[in-house]
Amino acid sequence: MKNKNTFYITTAIDYVNAEPHIGHAYQKIVADILARWNRLNEKETFFLTGTDEHGKKIANTAKQASKSPEEFVNEMSEKFKEAWKALNIKYDRFIRTTDKDHEKVVLELIKKINKNGDLYKGEYEGYYCTACESYYTEKDLIDGKCPYHNVKIEKLSEETYFFRLSKYQKFLLDLYEKNKNFILPEERKNEIVNRVKEGLKDLSITRTSIEWGIPFPLDKKHVVYVWFDALINYYSATRQKGKEKFWPADYHLLGKDNGWFHAVIWPAILKSAGIEMPKTVFIHGFLTFNGQKISKSLGNSISPITLANKYGADSIRYFIARQFPFAEGKDGDFSEQALIDRHNNELANKLGNLVLRVSTLAEKYG
C-alpha cells in the first residue's frame, strides 16, 4: 500500500534521435511545477524524467553520425539534461533505458508475463513507422503515411513474440469505468474507451531485424520492442532501494500521440505482471508552431537552451504555464511574440509595478 504522504509524477521519456525542443519542455515544466507544489505541501516527492534510447531509429541515426549507438545515446542524453538544467527543472531521477537497473526490471517483467501465459511466438505483418517506432494498421494511415509524422511507412513481415493484449479488453474497460480519473481529460478518455471497445489486437513486443535493444530473455534472436521496454521505466525507477514506496505513480504526463501506449498497453502489462495500476494517465495536447506539431521529424523544433539564454528560464516557465491549455488536453500554438507580450504585460508591467508599489510603501512607512 502506497504511503499517502508521497507524490510520484512522471513525464514521458524522450527519444534521443535528435536534440531536445520546446515541445519536450512543455510537459517537463508542468511536471516540475506540480512536483514543487507537492514539496511545498510537505509531501515526499519523486519526479522522474529521462530518455528512451533503444530502437531502429536510434541505430540508424547513430550510423549516419558515424558513431556507435552507445556513444550516440550517451551524448544525446547529456543534451537533454543540459536543456532541463537551463530551464531550472529539478527532477529526482533522470532515467535512461540503457541503465542496467532498468534492463533488469524489464527482463523480470517479461518472465512474469510469460509465466502468466501472455506471450507467444508468431509472425507480424503490418505497417511500422520508424520515426515514432510504432505499429499501425492500414486504416490508421493518412494517404499511406504515419498519422503523426507525415512520412511514408514501411510494411513489415518478421517473426516476433506477441503479448496477449486482446485478453485484457474487459479488464481495461472495467478499469476506466471504476476509476473515473484513470484517464484525463475526459475528451482523451472517450477517445481511448471508444477505440478499446472496437477490439484489441495482440501486440508485437520483439524485433529480429535490429540489434540495438534489450536482448529478449526467451529467445536470443530477438530484442525487446522499444515501446515495451520504455513503458517499464516508470516502474523500474521505483525498484531502487528507498523508492519502492512511491509506486504506484500519481500522474503519468504524456502527449496525445502516446496516449494509447500509456492508457491501454501499459496497464495491460502491469495487470499481467500482477502490479498495481498508476492513479492517473494525463494526456495533454501538442505545442504547435504555425499550426503544426513542434517535432524533430518535421524540422520545426526550437531549442529550449536558446530560448532560456534569450529570455531567461523564469519567463519561459511562466509563459508555458500561463499561455497553454494543458489541463484541457488541447493544443497550444507557440510564438516568441506571444512570449514577449506575456512577459512585458504581465511580469514586467503588472507584477513589476505591484512589487515597485509595495516596496515603495514598505520603505516609506517602515
Instruction: Give the residue numbers annotated as catalytic, written as ranges.
Output: 21, 24, 129, 132, 146, 149, 293, 296
Cβ neighbour number for residue 49 with a 10 Å cutoff: 27
Neighbouring C-alpha atoms within 13 Å toward the C-beta of 136: 25
Helix, strand or coil, per DSSP, at residue 265? helix
How far is CA 279 from each of CA 159, 185, 299, rounded to the nearest angstrom?
A: 35, 13, 35
Q: Nine-digit cell at 24?
A: 519536450
| CA–CA gap between residue 331 and residue 293 (Å, rounded) | 9
Q: Nine-digit cell at 70?
A: 552507445
Q: If you ran DSSP here, which 8-state letter would residue 278 be given? A: P
CA 213, 214, 220, 222 dihedral sign is negative
Instruction: Go through 120-144 and write b for each residue having 16 or more CB atoms within 10 A of its CB, e for each that does not.
Output: eeeebebbbbbbbbbbbeeeeeeee
Cβ neighbour number for residue 229 with a 10 Å cutoff: 25
φ, ψ for residue 128, nearest 5 deg: -140, 130
Q: Nine-digit cell at 64?
A: 549516419
CA 195, 259, 173, 201 dihedral sign is positive
Cβ neighbour number for residue 310 with a 10 Å cutoff: 12
Number of helices (H), then strands (E), belonging to the chain: the values are 14, 16
Q: Is cis: bond before 248, omega within 30 of 0?
A: yes
| Cβ contact 14:52 at 8 Å | yes
